Structure 1
Amino acid sequence: MMPHAHTIAAREEKAAHAEALGITEERISDLVEGFYGKIRSDALLGPIFDKHITNWPPHLARMKDFWTSIAIESGRFRGNPMVKHLAIPNIERTHFDHWLALFDQTLPEVMPNAAACQFLSERAARIADSLMTGISIHRDGFPKISQKKEINDVA
């Protein structure tokens, strides 16, 4: 099934924007290598990753495909990150916040400017929020939605 013309145009526009920011496959590769180097030596996240990843080179290649798909619309990533993260017991918001802090710390080391860093940081934050929301719903069910009080009830 071929994507619609507007979908193709949107992807091309996103890729052109990333390119204009100086985000390249080489820089994404450097980002993934540097970031996961920090992860592996991190006291909080390192043990979690070590428990779930036994062969790092294929994981890094997969993460490069993921981030090039996110950042420059390469379309190479195929997979379901939610399933992988659901398999990690006791993963909490603090883990994602720490992951984001390390990611944001790595960005200026490899990206050419603040705009490129912000572009990738915003995407990482959205991904983390999405994963944590999915994990929370899977564990706890949908949150209860409070009913708005009627204007007459507020007095």
Structure 2
Amino acid sequence: MTALPPRFRVTPEEIDRIVAVFYAAIRAHPGLGPVFATHVTDWPAHEAKIAGFWRNAILYERSYDGNPMEVHRRAGNVRPGMFDAWLELFDAVLARELEPATAAAWSALAHRIGRGMRYGLVETATLPGGVPRLV
């Protein structure tokens, strides 16, 4: 069986660097930092898990075993509106750290995943009468 080619050109080391730089920015972010701090107690382990997620999503390494939607749902304090801030910060890190074509391709993938996550959370986080809770 032939391995699938990567979605775009990026190395495992670049993925690790993006994840590390991004989560340093997350910890400093006034809105997202406290949300993550509530749930992440071991940053190196979290970063390794998320780097595995991205290596799986981009390089097809099968280095991630988890259910991001369920984790975010179970957290209880993750709101759909937070994804915009997350994606803006992620895009800024990608633009600073990678070649433009790689940053654009990774950003497109992150936005597609973000739309799915936001949709999953909106569908399960509703107000009476089915009105979506957007914040």
TM-score, normalized by length of structure 1? Answer: 0.76
> Hey, what does 1:127 align to over in structure 2?
113
- Structure 1 runs not aligned, ≥5 long: 145-155
1:12 Cα deviation after fit: 1.6
1:109 Cα deviation after fit: 2.4
> Hey, what does 2:8 align to over in structure 1?
18
Report which of the two structures shows the higher radius of gyration computed on alpha carbons: 1
TM-score, normalized by length of structure 2? Answer: 0.87
In 2, Cα distance between equivalents of 1:129 and 1:102: 16
In 2, Cα distance between equivalents of 1:139 and 1:82: 13
In 2, Cα distance between equivalents of 1:28 and 1:106: 12
In 2, Cα distance between equivalents of 1:50 and 1:36: 11
Q: Does 1:96 align with 2:83?
A: yes
In 1, Cα distance between equivalents of 2:13 and 2:96: 13
Q: Could you tell me which amino acid in structure 1 is paired with residue 24 of structure 2?
A: G
In 1, Cα distance between equivalents of 2:121 and 2:80: 10
- Structure 2 runs not aligned, ≥5 long: none
> Hey, what does 1:60 align to over in structure 2?
47
Deviant stretches of 4+, over 3 Å: none
Partner of 1:129, secondary structure, is helix
- Give percent identity, aligned residues only: 31
1:108 Cα deviation after fit: 2.2
Q: Could you tell me which amino acid in structure 2 is paired with residue 70 of structure 1?
A: A
Conserved? CA contact 2:56–2:64, under 8 Å: yes
The number of equivalent residue pairs is 129
Please give the root-mean-square deviation of Cα atoms over the aligned residues, in Å: 2.0
From 120, 125, 130, the equivalent of 1:139 is 125
From 8, 13, 29, the equivalent of 1:42 is 29
> Hey, what does 1:148 align to over in structure 2?
none
Q: Could you tell me which amino acid in structure 2 is paired with residue 123 of structure 1?
A: L
- Deviation sequence 1:56-79 (CA, Å, 0-9, x none): 111010011001111111111111
In 2, Cα distance between equivalents of 1:93 and 1:86: 10
